[in-house]
Amino acid sequence: MNDLLDIRMKRLDGVEQHLADYRGKVLLLVNVASYCGNTPQYRDLQAMHAEYRDRGFEVLAFPANDFGAQEPGTDAEIAEFCASRYGVTFPVFSKITVRGRDIHPLYAAITSRPAPIGGEVTWNFQKYLVDRRGNVVAKFPPSLSPRDRSIVAKIDELLKQP
């Protein structure tokens, strides 16, 4: 059993999705916010999604209002923002909590892992790379661009693996 891929999530459109639907893909999980200094990273996340999707890669975004109240909107408002400002076509899920006592089970599972993966989420746009088997294999800081060569190299490496 892989606890990450056994979780069901609600997407912004209200449809429930089982993360097991992404089994066999390389995933970049990102907690996002609409009003953060890192919000322009949506542009790079969308570019990566378009570039790598046909090779078995998906960006999965999880809006959270845990840092500076930078994601105050409803799911509908978040969907409109992502589409109109950044042309987002990758999956964006319903707003969750990524730290504290109300932490969502997905993020509880990630942050409870041993270092260097585990530990509390530090800010919006923290990134976790997940291999095709559902194992979290890398964590990248919020300020690091999704297009940084360290992230891209790791994605390329994982996409070459069966």
Q: Give the residue numbers annotated as catalytic, written as ranges.
A: 36
Q: How far apart are CA 58 and CA 151, in angstroms?
A: 14
Q: In 3D, which of 43, 42, 84 has the Cα closest to residue 63? A: 42
70-81: string of b/e by CB count within 10 Å (b at 16+)? bbebebeebbeb
Q: In 3D, which of 45, 27, 6, 39 has the Cα closest to residue 123? A: 39
Count of other CB atoms within 10 angstroms of residue 57 = 21
Q: In 3D, which of 111, 161, 126 has the Cα closest to residue 33? A: 126
Q: Amino acid identity, residue 158? A: L
